[in-house]
Amino acid sequence: MTFRQIGVPLAALVIFGLFWEWLVWVNGWPNYKMASPSDIWPAFWKFRGLFLEYGWDTLWRTVVGLLLSVVFGVFLGMIMGLSKTMRDALYPLLVGFNAIPKATIVPIIALMFVGQHDMNTILIAFLISFFPIAVSVSIGLSTLEPEYRDILASLGASKFTIFWKIALPKTLPEFFGALKVAVTLAFIGTNLMEIVEPHGRGLGHLFDSGKISADYPLMFAVLIALALMGIVLYYVVVALEKVFAGWAERNPT
């Protein structure tokens, strides 16, 4: 990575933090109304053990849920992308499911599988993040130019070869674009479940504890921790995209 790629995002974060601190100071907001960045670091340090422990719980559950969404989303997207009949049959179901607010599904799953904190959290992370992956893969495969397919078929290529050599690489830019969205959605799903479950673990549970005790610096510290974890996971996806689909990137003129 170049200095610009590292320095510009860091500078933006610093400017945002200074503006946040200034906004709280100018309005004279107490920390029980709006915590400032200078209030957040002491909360991090005070509960550093819980942040490490619960942060790991949130991270691994999110990653597992995201991996499941990739496997299922790619499989479903392939089915819809390669078959117009299946696409017409499944799209309304997927759109209808995705239109349901996931916050309403969380308590249902929590009641169905009482005490299964890990499974419940992973399940919600999966349910909330597979949709964009399935749709992107489906669109990528269904919009494959017929000329490519016809040329390879005339040369004796099998359907599997056409899929492997042309269709699959073509979907990679759309897939990674959807995966960047799915990363943030998976974190949302994880924390929804962690907040709802009364005896759960994870940063969502720590946020709920701060809410109960009206500890606003702790609540904002949890939000910052989640944001940082989301940024790290996002850039992991960006790194993978450069490895597997870097050929599709175009530098702006």
User: pLDDT tens digits for 183-242?
Assistant: 999 998 898 888 887 667 889 989 988 888 888 899 999 999 999 999 899 989 988 988
Structural contact between residues 73 and 134, judged by C-beta atoms closer than 8 angstroms: yes
pTM to 2 decimal places: 0.86
The Cα diameter of the chain in Å comes to 74
User: Is the model's pLDDT at 105 over the cut of 70?
Assistant: yes
User: Is the model's pLDDT at 58 over the cut of 90?
Assistant: yes
Query: If 0-12 CB within 10 Å is exposed, 13-18 middle and 19+ buried, where does residue 91 land?
Result: middle
Top mean pLDDT of 52-66, 76-90, 191-205 is at 52-66
Structural contact between residues 77 and 141, judged by C-beta atoms closer than 8 angstroms: yes
> Tens of pLDDT along 133-157?
999 888 888 777 777 667 767 777 6
Name the residue type at position 223.
Answer: L
Coil, helix or strand for 237?
helix
- Nearest of 104, 64, 99, 51 to residue 190 by alpha carbon: 64
- Nearest of 184, 231, 229 to residue 206 by alpha carbon: 229
> How does the average pLDDT of the chain come out, rounded?
85
